[in-house]
Amino acid sequence: MTQSTRPLPAIRIDAGGDGTEVVLSGDWTLHLLCPLPPDIQRQFALIPSGAGWSLAAVSRLDSFGALLLWRRWGRQRPLRLELPEALAPVLARAEALPADALPVEPGYRFLDGTAQLGRGLHAVAHHVLGFVALVGHILISFGGLLRNHDRWPLREISANFYKVGVRAMPVTALVGFLIGVVMSYLSALQLRAFGADTFIVNILGLGIIRELGPVLVSVLVAGRSGSAMTAQLGVMRVTEEIDALTAMGISRHVRLVLPKVVALTLAMPLLTLWGSAVAILGGMVSAKLQLDLSFDFFLNALPRAVPAANLVIGLTKGAVFGLLIALVACYFGLRVRPNTESLSANTTASVVASITVVILVDAVFAIATRSVGLPYR
């Protein structure tokens, strides 16, 4: 068995009639434990005192793993300990060490900030490589589907389109309408002071259709549908459903990831159009109440104030944002480890990363299209 196929160290806490029992499994070695100390420490903190420990499922144990357990036990063996004979000598060497020989947490050093920055950059690079690998898998799967049309997961795409598109329309309309009212109200206060009431059409039209509409809908979708995608894939990872699909020869990228990516990419432009239309409706209502601008004047002035290129830019942004949100959500969902702590952490990271990516890409769009679709240049 190679290093890459070694079983990862895992902790399972069983609560039974005889008390709590902690079952360890996998390789508890330096090579596999090094990336996991924070996760291991968090799981150790959940173990109550007086629990029994079972090391029967541990395949390998080295000095590092033995010292880690010995420190957790408070330098004395638990009252209930199931220890295989093959692992007893390793644990005995840890017991023989004097107390001052056990590793302690080092104090703060001058270069600790630099080391933490390096770890952060390494984590970002790791996520980027994993994201690129996921995109590669999806492109390969998409190429295979183009050659074999009978394998298209149309039902999965339709179901996901309904969940991320149709069911998101009410909350998108509500938030869009309120944002339109707020923007119109605040703009009216300023425009009225300069006698430029009619320019509220330009402000609302360009601001909502070109910029605010796509970004607002993307943030809502990232928090609603993106987190749901990550949680769904994460639960399937925890319950080993993804492993079962792999064992049956079913591609997880074709059946799980691709339908979500296609559905959200198709739904986002429509949601953007819907949310922008409702936001402009809210702005019209507020402009009527604040500035006494009729609906007829607003609708006639809107095409002149906002060229059609802005609508194309807004819908293109929606499609790109939907693609990125789905990819980020599926990436974090597939990297969930089989425990609830990892599920919650990756769901949170998915939402934060999706919103961050949307804002960064929107800035790129703003720079790339700064001279397109503006009525006055």
- Give the pLDDT score at 101: 56
Residues 252, 258: Cα–Cα separation, whole Å: 9
Predicted local confidence at residue 191, as pLDDT? 80
From the DSSP assignment, how many helices (H) and strands (E) are in the chain? 16, 4
pLDDT for the residue numbered 275 = 93
E strands present in the chain: 10-16, 19-28, 52-61, 81-82
pLDDT at 328: 94
Per domain, the residue ranges of the chain are: 3-101, 149-368
For residue 57, what are the β-bridge partners? 25
Q: Which residues contact 261 (CB under 8 A, 6 or more apart)?
A: 138, 323, 326, 327, 330
Distance CA 253, CA 137 (A): 7
The topology (CATH level 3) of 3-101 is Transcription Regulator spoIIAA (3.30.750)
Give me the chain's average pLDDT, please.
85
Over the chain (377 residues), the average pLDDT of each successive run of 10 is 66 78 87 74 80 88 86 84 88 79 61 80 89 90 82 88 92 93 85 78 87 92 92 88 85 88 94 93 88 84 86 92 94 86 88 94 90 68
CB 62 within 8 A of CB 94: no
Residue 165's identity, in one-letter code, is: G
Number of residues that this document lists for the chain: 377
Helices (H), 24-87: 30-33, 37-45, 63-72
Q: What is the pLDDT of residue 2?
A: 47
Q: Convert the pLDDT of each residue in 100-156 to its tens digit.
A: 655 555 666 777 778 788 888 988 898 899 899 999 988 988 888 888 877 888 888
